[in-house]
Structure 1
Amino acid sequence: MPTISLDATRLRHVRAVDPLMASYNIEMTEVTGGTFWKRYTPGQISGAEPFVLRGMADMRNSMEPYPPKNLRNERLVALAKALGPAWVRVSGSWASNTYYDFDGTTGGKAPEGFSSVLTRDQWVGVLDFVKSINGHLLVSVANSAGVHNTPDGSWDPAQAKLLFDFSRDYGVPIEAAEFMNEPNILTPDNSPAGYGMAEYARDQDAFFRFLRENYPNVLCVGPCASEIGIPGTPHSTVNAQANADAGDALASLDAFKAADLMPHLKERADVFSYHWYNGISERGASVLGHHWDASEAMNDDYLASAESACRTYLPMRDEYLPNAPIWITESADAGLGGDTWASTYLDVFRTACELGSFGELTNGVIFHNTLASSDYGWLDFADFSPRPNYWFVLLWNRLMGADVYRADDQTREGMHVYVRSRKDGRDGTVWLLVNSSKTEAITIDGVNGGWLYQLTADDPHSRDARLNGTVLALGPNDELPELDPATISGDSITLPPASISFIVL
C-alpha cells in the first residue's frame, strides 16, 4: 500500500487566490423560461440503461420547455446562502437573443430580431437572489439581429443601457460583463446574417468602450471562448473510434478561434475568460464526438483535462492580458447539459481536481454551469435538493483558505493532493486528498490530531454522498446536516479507494 506523508515543512507557497473561486451560472433561459436539456432517466443515471442518440433529430429532441425558475424559492436561496458569497453569471446561449422588456410592452412576444423576453419581475428576481447571497453579478448581453438596427449594422447599446441602469438603480449593480456568450459559435439566433470575426471584434470593442465611459467600475471580461477538445488536452481512449467517426462536426461550428480573434481586439479586457467542458455529453456524442465514457471518469487523463486546458490558455492570457485573472465562465463535466453521471458522486472527482489544480496555475474564478439546472447542476432542478457536488463545494468553501501551497512530490497516479491555508484563519493547512483509484487504498502519515472530512459513496454512480460514513441529506425542515469532522487519533490513517478527503492540520 503506498504511503504519503503530510509534511508542511516541504510545502512552497504558490499564490493567494480569489476566495470566490467556486462560483456558478444561472442560465438566462432559467430566468425567462424556455427550452433546456431534458433530464436523464434514473436508469441512465445509474448506468443500468444506455442513452442512445441516433442522430441530429434525436439531439434536437434532447431539449424540452421549462417555466421560469423561481429564484425566490426558500430552499434554493438557503442552500445558495450556505455556500457563501459568489459571483453569479447570468448568461448562456439564450442571453444573446433576449429582449429586456422592463416596461411590459411586448405581451411576452419577442420583437423581431430576438427570441425571448426578460420581464422586470424576472430580472428583479435575479437581483434579489444576488443580493441575498451577498454576491456579485456578471452578465453577457444580446447580440442578435435586434440590436443591430443601425445604419452600419454595428451593435446598438440601448438595450444594454437599460439592463445596466436598472440594475444600478435597484441597488444591485452589474459588476462584470462579457459582450456575448461563446462568440466563436455564431448562429442566426445570436448574431445577424453575415456576422463574423471582424464584426465581432468591432462590437466587443464598442461594448467595452461603452462600459468604460458609462460604468467605469464594471470589469470587462473576454473573449469567452468555447473550444472543447483543443490541442494539448486529453481525449477519451474508450470512445476514440466513435469520436473519430463524428469527424470535425464540433470544430465546424466555430466561426473563428480565440487565438485568431485576440490580435484584432483593440479594447483590452480586465479579465481573460474561456469556457471549459471536458467533453460533450451523451446527448450530442454521436453527432459532435468528444465524449468520454463513464469508465474513464476517475482516470488521471480525464481528471487532468481542465488543468491541461488552463495550461493551453495561459500563454494567450500572458501575451494579450498579462497578469489579468482568468475566469472560466462556464465549466462542468460535459457540454449539452452534462453526462449521465454528472449528478452523481462520480463527478465529484472532476470537480475536486479542477478546483484544486486551478489555484496552483493562476488566480481567478470558476463559474460552474449550473447552480440548479439540468444534470450538471449542483442542485436538482426539480426540487433543488443537493447533489454530491454541492456537498463537496460546501466543504471546500468552509475549509479551504485563499493561500495555495504545493508539495511537488506528493501527487502520483490515482492520488491527487492539493493544499490550502485554513479558512478559519488559524495557523495550519488543509489538505485535499483525492484517491481516484477504484481498487487501491493509500496510507497517510503525519495526521495525528487532525480533523478528517471524508466523502465516499456506496457506488460511484450513487446520487448520495457520505461524510465520514453518514449519508448527507437535508433535514425535515431543510436544515443542513452537521458537517462535523472525525478527529484523527494516531499518526496515520488509510484512505479507501474512490474517496475524497479533507484533512485539517
Structure 2
Amino acid sequence: MYTVRIGSACILGAPVVAIALLAVCGPCLAADEATIAPADMPVVGTIDERFQSFNIEMVSVTGGPFWKPYAPSEESTPHKNRDLLAVRSPIDLGSARLRKYAAALSPAYLRVSGTWANTTFFPGSGVTSTRPPAGYKNVLTRHRWDSVIDFSKAVDAPIITSFAIGPGTRDSKGIWKPDQALEVISATRKAGGRIVAAEFMNEPDLPAIGGAPAGYDAAAFAHDFQVFRAFMRQAAPNVMILGPGTMGRSPDDSAFFLASASGIDAVSYHFYGALSERCAGGHTADISLSDEWLARTEKTFAFYAALRDRAAAGKPIWLTETAEAACGGDRWSATFLDSFRYLDQLGRLARSGVQVVMHNTLVASDYGLLDEMTLVPRPNYWAALLWRQLMGTVVLDPGLPVQRGLHVYAHCQRRISGAVALLIINNDPQTSHELILPNSSMRFTLDAGTLQDVAVRLNGAALAVEGSDQLPKLAGVPANAGSIRFAPATITFLAVPDAGNRNCT
C-alpha cells in the first residue's frame, strides 16, 4: 500500500489504482510521489548470509590466457583482430591488499572454476610437474591450491568449485573417473580448507568451448552426473551438489537440467546479459540504463525457476556466475555505468528468492571488481561494499512495483534490530524522482562526473583508498523525514534505523 500524490489530492491504494488513474489522468501524474512505510513492509523471503559472493577464475590461479583488458584508447576492435586473450601469471592470493579488500565483502563464497577448470590437472601427492599430461591443458599445483585455501580462510569465503571433465579424466570407454575430484577434495581436507559446494563441470551446455569430449551432450552429461553424485555422496557427503551450471535458455539447457535435477541440492545457473565486444556482441553502452536491459536477469531466472518447480521442487537457486557481459565484459564494465546493473540485479534476484549471486570476477579483465594490475577498487566494488554494509538477509516488500526509471528494493538493515535499508535506483538519465519517507534516515548516494567514469562519488565526495590501502568509512548523511529527491542517473541507499519493523528483529 502506498500514497499517490496528484497535485494536492492524495489517493490511497494498490498499484492498480495508480495504473487506472494514469489511463484517465495521463500527464497529471507526472509529478507523483509515493509514500513508503518502512515499519509496515512485509517479508517476501530470506537470502543466504553469503548472498553477495565472487569468482576467481581457475586460470587466474594457475596462470594462463584469459580475456585481455581493453586498452584505454584502443582503436581496433578485439573480435576483428582476434587479439582476445592475454597470458597472466598466477594471481598473488597472499597479497595483503587483495585480502583486505576481499575480506571487506565477506562473509561470502569464493568460487574457483570457469571454462579452464574443465581441463585443469591436479597432481597427486608428491608430484611436482607443471606440464599437463595428455588430455589436459593446465596444471593446478598443490602450492597454488594451498594458496586458494589460505585465501579462503583469511577472507571468510568458503570454496565452491567444479572438477576436470576433459578427455584426460576418462577411461578407455570414455567414462568419467573421479580420481581428479578425489585428489582435490582430499588435498583440501588435509590443508584444513572447506569446500561447501561443487558443480560437476563448468557450463556443460558449451561442451566444445569447455573442453568436453567430442559429441558431448545431455545424455553423456546424465551418465557422468550419476557417477559424480555417487562419488560425492561417499567422498564428501557434506558438500552441496549444485547443477547444472548452464547459462542458456534453450531446449538443450532444459535437457542438461533434467539430466541432473534428481541429484542436486541446489539449482545453479549462469547469466550474462550479452556477449562482450571481444566475442562480437552487438549491444552498446546506451542501453545500460534501460529497463529492458536491467530486466534481462529476471528472464533467465524465470527459466530456471520454472525448471526447478517442474523437476526439483523446493530446491534453492544459486546464480554461480554473472557479470555485465560474457568474455571479460565491455569497455564500460569497469565504470559507474555498470553499477546500475550490478545493484539492480542483486535487488531483483534477492526479491525473487535467489540465495546466492556470484560476480565474475573479483579481479580479472574488465568485469573485475578490482583492477587486476593495481587492485584499485572499481565502481562496482564500492557498490558491493555498500550492499554488504547495509542490506541484510531478510527481504521486504517496499510496497512499490519496479517502475520505469525508478527501482526500489528493501531489506532489513544489516545487524540493526527493527531497522530497514532501502536501495533506490534512478536509472532515468534525465528526470529526478521523489519518494515520501515518514522516517528520518541516513543517505548514501552514488554518482559520477559522467556515467562512464572509473571514479565514483559517495554523497558528492570521491571514493578512494587511503594510506596503507585503508578503505574509507562509508558514511551516510542525515536525511529528514518527508520528500526525498533522487537525481537522474544516481543510486541511493537509505538506512532507516528507527523504522520499527517487527520483521527485522
Q: How far off is 1:272 after superposition? A: 0.3
* Unaligned residue ranges in structure 1 (runs of 5+): 45-49, 232-255
The answer for the alignment partner of 1:221 in structure 2 is 242
Distance in structure 2 (CA, Å) of the matches to 1:489 and 1:189:
54
Q: How far off is 1:416 after superposition? A: 0.3
The answer for the alignment partner of 2:328 in structure 1 is 337
Q: How far off is 1:174 after superposition? A: 1.4
What TM-score comes out, normalization by structure 1 length? Answer: 0.89
Distance in structure 1 (CA, Å) of the matches to 2:130 and 2:210:
18
For 1:67-86, list aligned pairs within 5 A.
67-86=89-108
Describe the superposition over 1:23-61 as per-residue Cα deviations: whole angstroms up to 9, x where unpaired: 0111000000000111112236xxxxx662464xx33x2
The answer for the alignment partner of 1:19 in structure 2 is 49
8 Å CA contact 1:100–1:118 kept in 2: the answer is: yes
Q: Which segment drifts farther, 336-345 or 425-434?
A: 425-434
The answer for the alignment partner of 2:22 in structure 1 is none
Match of 2:121 among 95, 99, 117: 99
8 Å CA contact 1:29–1:36 kept in 2: the answer is: yes
Alignment CA distance shift 1:42-1:186 (3 Å)? same
Q: Which segment drifts farther, 325-334 or 308-317?
A: 308-317
Distance in structure 1 (CA, Å) of the matches to 2:424 and 2:50:
21
Describe the superposition over 1:241-268 as per-residue Cα deviations: whole angstroms up to 9, x where unpaired: xxxxxxxxxxxxxxx7221223334752
Distance in structure 2 (CA, Å) of the matches to 1:483 and 1:173:
31
The answer for the alignment partner of 1:109 in structure 2 is 131
Is residue 175 of structure 1 aligned with residue 196 of structure 2?
yes
Is residue 276 of structure 1 aligned with residue 267 of structure 2?
no
Q: How far off is 1:490 after superposition? A: 4.7
Alignment CA distance shift 1:363-1:38 (3 Å)? closer
AA of the residue aligned to 1:280 = L
Distance in structure 2 (CA, Å) of the matches to 1:446 and 1:351:
25
Describe the superposition over 1:144-172 as per-residue Cα deviations: whole angstroms up to 9, x where unpaired: 11000x24221111111110011011111
Distance in structure 1 (CA, Å) of the matches to 2:214 and 2:90:
29
For 1:157-236, list aligned pairs within 5 A.
157-187=178-208, 190-227=211-248, 230=249
The answer for the alignment partner of 1:464 in structure 2 is 455
Q: How far off is 1:17 after superposition? A: 1.2
8 Å CA contact 1:4–1:410 kept in 2: the answer is: no
AA of the residue aligned to 1:92 = G
- The number of equivalent residue pairs is 466
For the pair shown, the structure with the greater C-alpha radius of gyration is 2
Aligned to 2:274, what secondary structure does the other structure show?
A: strand
Q: How far off is 1:360 after superposition? A: 1.2
Q: How far off is 1:411 after superposition? A: 2.8
AA of the residue aligned to 2:307 = M
Q: How far off is 1:10 after superposition? A: 5.3
Q: How far off is 1:449 after superposition? A: 2.1
The answer for the alignment partner of 1:249 in structure 2 is none
Is residue 8 of structure 1 aligned with residue 38 of structure 2?
yes
Aligned to 2:341, what secondary structure does the other structure show?
A: helix
Describe the superposition over 1:155-202 as per-residue Cα deviations: whole angstroms up to 9, x where unpaired: 111111110011011111211110110011112762223433222210
The answer for the alignment partner of 2:24 in structure 1 is none
AA of the residue aligned to 2:109 = W
Match of 1:52 among 77, 94, 97: 77
The answer for the alignment partner of 1:319 in structure 2 is 310
Q: Which segment drifts farther, 471-480 or 188-197?
A: 188-197
Q: Which segment drifts farther, 259-268 or 418-427?
A: 259-268
Distance in structure 1 (CA, Å) of the matches to 2:52 and 2:97:
20
Q: Which segment drifts farther, 119-128 or 106-115?
A: 106-115
AA of the residue aligned to 1:152 = K
Q: How far off is 1:298 after superposition? A: 0.4
Aligned to 1:101, what secondary structure does the other structure show?
A: coil
AA of the residue aligned to 1:157 = P
8 Å CA contact 2:271–2:319 kept in 1: the answer is: yes
Distance in structure 2 (CA, Å) of the matches to 1:337 and 1:85:
25
The answer for the alignment partner of 2:252 in structure 1 is 257
Distance in structure 2 (CA, Å) of the matches to 1:189 and 1:337:
16
For 1:348-427, list aligned pairs within 5 A.
348-427=339-418
Distance in structure 1 (CA, Å) of the matches to 2:174 and 2:391:
48
Q: Which segment drifts farther, 309-318 or 346-355?
A: 309-318
Alignment CA distance shift 1:493-1:263 (3 Å)? closer
Is residue 440 of structure 1 aligned with residue 431 of structure 2?
yes
Alignment CA distance shift 1:333-1:157 (3 Å)? same
Q: How far off is 1:407 after superposition? A: 3.2
Q: Which segment drifts farther, 17-26 or 102-111?
A: 102-111
Is residue 33 of structure 1 aligned with residue 28 of structure 2?
no
AA of the residue aligned to 2:169 = V
The answer for the alignment partner of 1:478 in structure 2 is 469
Q: How far off is 1:448 after superposition? A: 4.4
8 Å CA contact 1:378–1:387 kept in 2: the answer is: yes
Aligned to 1:257, what secondary structure does the other structure show?
A: helix
Distance in structure 2 (CA, Å) of the matches to 1:19 and 1:86:
8
Describe the superposition over 1:46-79 as per-residue Cα deviations: whole angstroms up to 9, x where unpaired: xxxx662464xx33x2111000000111110000
Q: Which segment drifts farther, 304-313 or 185-194?
A: 185-194
Describe the superposition over 1:269-328 as per-residue Cα deviations: whole angstroms up to 9, x where unpaired: 00101100000001112xxx4x32100000000011112211122110111211111111
Aligned to 1:501, what secondary structure does the other structure show?
A: strand
Q: Which segment drifts farther, 100-109 or 71-80?
A: 100-109
AA of the residue aligned to 2:237 = P
Distance in structure 1 (CA, Å) of the matches to 2:79 and 2:355:
39
Q: Which segment drifts farther, 401-410 or 188-197?
A: 188-197
Match of 1:305 among 261, 280, 296: 296
Distance in structure 1 (CA, Å) of the matches to 2:419 and 2:134:
59
Is residue 126 of structure 1 aligned with residue 148 of structure 2?
yes
Distance in structure 1 (CA, Å) of the matches to 2:275 and 2:209:
22
Distance in structure 2 (CA, Å) of the matches to 1:66 and 1:96:
18
Alignment CA distance shift 1:453-1:54 (3 Å)? closer
Distance in structure 2 (CA, Å) of the matches to 1:339 and 1:263:
33
Aligned-pair identity (%): 35
Describe the superposition over 1:87-111 as per-residue Cα deviations: whole angstroms up to 9, x where unpaired: 1111000000001125463531110
The answer for the alignment partner of 2:161 in structure 1 is 139
Q: How far off is 1:86 after superposition? A: 0.7
Q: How far off is 1:8 after superposition? A: 2.5
AA of the residue aligned to 2:163 = V
